[in-house]
Structure 1
Amino acid sequence: MTTEINQEQKEFLKLQLWKSTMRASISRAGEIYTPGTTAKKKSRFRVELLSFVTEMIRDHYETKTSDDQTHLENISKLKDFASGFGFVMLRFGHAQKILNLFLKYLWCLGYVQEPPHFPVDRLIQKRLRIQNFSNWTNEMEKEGYMKVIEEAKIVAKRENFRSIAALELSFYNDLW
């Protein structure tokens, strides 16, 4: 059995992870496309968004862990890029989930450095015991998101995790 993964296999894995990321990030979102948006436009959006996110990851995450401010700016850029299509209504909560979940997948495979944050959703907010947590699909904006991130930093330090990404990964694995 060969253990080396070639470039074609890596691209296949990345594409499958991207599809999984999109399903997890927008499936609870309701309709993110304006009524009447064609399948062709939706497909073009997903392809162009993947290209945009791939370039962002190459520039900011492959060889280093971005700082909080850069990461927040990247989430906002992703949201703005999607909005630029005119037929896509992506909220901050969806944008953070897309970027953070894709980064988590790629990190777990060793394709990028450890991400600065993690996918913020209902499960992690409950596990962190966030009071009055945000519904990430409808109402989460930068302030609510950073509330979760700051709380995770406190918990990670208290429980001796090297990072909040490692903390969330452990919490997620404990759910199963």
Structure 2
Amino acid sequence: MLDDLIDNVALDVPDAPRATIRSALARASREFCTEADAWVTEEGPVIYGAATDYPLMVAPAGEALRIVSLTMDGQTVTQGERFEQVSPTEIVFHRTPSENVISGRLACRPKRGDMPPNEVLSRWGEPIGDGARWRLLLMPQVWRDPELATYYERRFLAGITDAKQQSRLGYARGGARVNMRRFI
């Protein structure tokens, strides 16, 4: 998957070395996942030591960003209901949980220089590639093209907006319903 993405980006910057393209893709994917909650994992426990004074948030892969939801006492809860996430690594419970290890859904981003899993790349590879093209086309190299870079920047930002919308719609707990006024 990554090789295909590198080859796809190389079409617009043919003189760029593959390592430079891979680095630009890693940077773009990190920024994309940070801004859009594009990588949400449900693998394994999210919080260890929940019943202690210093609960530890752990991502099974990558870096933890935001808790989407937790499963506490058999119920799925979101931020504000029974806990607050004050920073990417710090969580405060409104009351001490009965369990010490808590599972849930966690938004992650790749560590610096790493790539997200193939599921994320297959779903969001095109806008991530646009972000890499944007950065590469601004570099002071023979392939520099600021006008084309602006085009890819817009596409990258539009991809982030789409991913944000998808994550908001996909993780919604319900919608507002409006009753129609009666016709008299």
Q: TM-score range by the shorter chain?
A: under 0.3
**TM-score, normalisation: structure 2:** 0.27
Higher RCO, 1 or 2 (CA under 8 Å, sep at least 6)? 2
**TM-score, normalisation: structure 1:** 0.28
Q: Name the structure with the higher strand share.
A: 2
Q: Which has the larger radius of gyration?
A: 2
Q: Name the structure with the higher helix share.
A: 1
